[in-house]
Amino acid sequence: MTAETLSTGVRRIDQHVAVLDIRGEITGASEDALGEAYAEGAGGATRAVILNFTELEYMNSSGIGLLVTLLVRANRAKQKLLAFGLSEHYRQIFELTRLDEAIGIYDTEADAVAAA
């Protein structure tokens, strides 16, 4: 698995909210691509970064670790980190790791944007 298995896009909802569209796999090899996308989305007056997992194909424990890194960065910047589009499998993983207590999990992008 290489970093090429992850592609990201950053969309601005407004000056305060950005959405990171994640496509493919999040593994340890995804660190640079995910970090760069997050930095782009979290810049400026951003108050909330929303992770779009609708096209997530695979995430391993290293990928979970990368999400924790993003969470730390968001907390330091006093920003919210939210997510939507998680499959039932990954929702369970978020619950088991208690990430769901730190990252707001929503069913739809509209719900996540409303919470931002």
Give the integer Cα–Cα distance in Å for 28 and 13.
28
In tens, the pLDDT along 58-104 reads 999 999 999 999 999 999 999 999 999 999 999 999 999 999 999 99
**Which amino acid, one-letter code, is at 42?**
A
pLDDT computed for residue 4 by the predictor = 61
Whole-angstrom Cα Rg for the chain: 13
For the chain, first and last CA: distance in Å? 33
In tens, the pLDDT along 10-63 reads 999 999 999 999 999 999 999 999 999 999 999 999 999 999 999 999 999 999
Per the rule left: phi > 0, alpha: psi between -120 and 50, beta: everything else, 98 is left
pLDDT computed for residue 33 by the predictor = 94
Q: What is the pTM of this model?
A: 0.94
Strand partners, 11: 19
